[in-house]
């Protein structure tokens, strides 16, 4: 994780229009929108500003919606399915416009994604999906058979794949810093190292007890994603915190780097327990991630497991050293979709299932807008309800078994 600024805003006002809990992309984008519209907004974070996933992710920007169109149609019908997939497309085009309009210096690029098939069967499925895209949801994509794979990747392990041309990459911590600067310029107060420990409703307002004392707010936004805790038990029962692990290699010889990743694309594979990687923003290293352990946060162990997987894909790196190893908690949901809405007066956006760079920024902004306009557009994601499972209280005791099961399934698929 990139070191984050520790911000202690001078507390001007303890009576707020909006209090936001969580200072990642979701919280800051909501704050920026609301503050620019004249609301008094304070963002609280239990740690330094941006300490959560938003400064330690892989910086791959996708359309973020995991379930296939056919799965969504079977569950919700065509209209909602189309609307949900379109929200994914919207999030990607939104972040492209946002970075350019706000001139955020974060190495934003659109190299495209090589989506690699980990088996012959998955390659056939990918080809079928690309050739039969629903008319109004078509994305620019190109099939890469195994024989042409070397043009994309210096690896023999995959069975071909597809290139998704619109997928992007950025430097996540510099992107976060850019939004943080914009929010502060717009008048948002950011109070870091200030955990919100209690939240009560009284006389149509919310009373917040924090490390920096008590505040009163007319509205509250919960933007805690994979770090959602006991403060909001209803939400905690709906998100599954899962550790996502990453490593960075030491600088790689430029000729070898060109052989391994000639087109500098972001890469992910068709596994359920996915591996994802890309060149570092300066193009000198590979940043490689995956869910190599289910709860263990020993970074030496996860680093060494990731390195093993990296070398399985690129045997050319058998002598490579790892310079950094880190992890963070993403929020999965039981339907593998992000959620935005309001429960009992608390507004929330969360559950990005490991793909939140574009979606968290976009839904944070939409959440901010929804507090400003009573007739805001209701899109598919707001219509589907946010479900939990019986007996789940926020402690994902079943994760080791689930990850082992999905790993086994990946070997069968």
Chain residues in the site for ligand FAD (CB under 6 A): 21-27, 44-47, 51-54, 56-60, 195-196, 223-227, 229, 231, 244, 246, 289, 327-328, 330, 350, 352, 354-357, 360
- Report the DSSP pairing between strands 240-249 and 322-332: antiparallel
At closest approach, how far in Å is the CB of 158 from ligand FAD?
19
- If residue 91 lies in a helix (H) or strand (E), which one and from where to where? helix 78-101
At closest approach, how far in Å is the CB of 295 from ligand FAD?
14
- Closer CB to ligand FAD, 259 or 296, in the complex: 296
- Closer CB to ligand FAD, 144 or 353, in the complex: 353
Tell which phi-psi region holds residue 293, choosing left (phi > 0), alpha (psi between -120 and 50) or beta: beta
Closest C-alpha among 227, 229, 226, 241 to residue 198: 229
At closest approach, how far in Å is the CB of 207 from ligand FAD?
14
Main-chain dihedrals φ then ψ at residue 71, nearest 5 degrees = -65, -40
At closest approach, how far in Å is the CB of 128 from ligand FAD?
26
- Closer CB to ligand FAD, 45 or 159, in the complex: 45
Q: HSE-up of 49 (CA within 13 Å, CB side)?
A: 26
- Closer CB to ligand FAD, 123 or 349, in the complex: 349
Residue 277 is encoded by which pair of tokens? 């990687």
Which residue has its beta carbon closest to ligand FAD? Answer: 356
At closest approach, how far in Å is the CB of 24 from ligand FAD?
2
- Closer CB to ligand FAD, 4 or 159, in the complex: 4
At closest approach, how far in Å is the CB of 339 from ligand FAD?
11
What are the Cα distances from residue 282, in Å, to 29, 120, 170, 279, 302? 26, 34, 11, 8, 24
At closest approach, how far in Å is the CB of 363 from ligand FAD?
8
- Closer CB to ligand FAD, 328 or 380, in the complex: 328
281-291: buried (b, 16+ CB within 10 Å) or exposed (e) per residue? beeebbbbbbb
How many CB atoms sit inside 10 A of residue 197's CB?
13
- Closer CB to ligand FAD, 81 or 363, in the complex: 363
d(CA 259, CA 1): 28
């Amino acid at each position: 994780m990139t070191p984050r600024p520790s911000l202690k805003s001078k507390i001007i006002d303890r009576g707020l229009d909006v209090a936001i809990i969580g200072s990642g992309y979701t919280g800051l984008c909501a704050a920026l929108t609301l503050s620019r519209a004249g609301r008094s907004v304070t963002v609280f974070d239990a740690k330094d500003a941006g300490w959560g996933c938003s400064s330690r992710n892989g910086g791959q920007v996708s359309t973020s919606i995991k379930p296939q169109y056919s799965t969504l149609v079977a569950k919700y019908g065509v209209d909602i399915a189309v609307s949900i997939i379109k929200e994914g497309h919207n999030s990607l085009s939104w972040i492209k416009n946002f970075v350019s309009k706000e001139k955020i210096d974060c190495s934003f690029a659109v190299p495209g994604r090589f989506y690699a098939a980990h088996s012959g069967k998955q390659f056939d499925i990918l080809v079928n999906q690309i050739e039969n895209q629903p008319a109004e949801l078509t994305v620019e994509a190109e099939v890469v058979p195994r024989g042409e794979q070397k043009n994309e990747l210096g690896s023999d392990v995959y069975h071909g794949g597809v290139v998704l041309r619109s997928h992007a990459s950025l430097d996540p911590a510099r992107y976060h810093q850019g939004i943080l600067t914009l929010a502060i310029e717009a008048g948002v107060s950011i109070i870091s190292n200030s955990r919100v420990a209690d939240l009560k409703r009284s006389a149509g307002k919310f009373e917040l007890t924090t490390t920096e004392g008590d505040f009163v707010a007319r509205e509250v936004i919960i933007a805690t994603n994979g770090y959602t805790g006991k403060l909001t038990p209803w939400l905690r029962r709906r998100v599954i915190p899962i550790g996502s692990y990453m490593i960075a290699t030491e600088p790689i010889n430029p000729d070898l780097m060109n052989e391994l990743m000639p087109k500098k694309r972001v890469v992910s594979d068709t596994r359920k327990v996915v591996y994802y990687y890309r060149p570092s923003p300066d193009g000198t290293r590979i940043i490689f991630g995956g869910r190599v352990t289910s709860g263990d946060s020993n970074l030496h162990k996860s680093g060494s497991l990731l390195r093993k997987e990296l070398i399985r894909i690129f045997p050319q790196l058998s002598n490579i050293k790892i310079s950094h190893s880190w992890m963070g908690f993403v929020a999965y949901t039981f339907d593998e979709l992000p959620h935005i809405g309001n429960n009992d007066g608390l507004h929330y956006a969360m559950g990005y299932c490991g793909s939140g760079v574009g979606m968290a920024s976009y839904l944070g902004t939409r959440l901010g807008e929804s507090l400003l306009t009573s007739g805001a557009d209701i899109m598919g994601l707001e219509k589907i309800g946010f479900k939990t499972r019986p007996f789940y209280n926020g402690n994902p005791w079943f994760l080791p078994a689930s990850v082992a099961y999905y790993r086994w399934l990946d070997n069968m698929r």
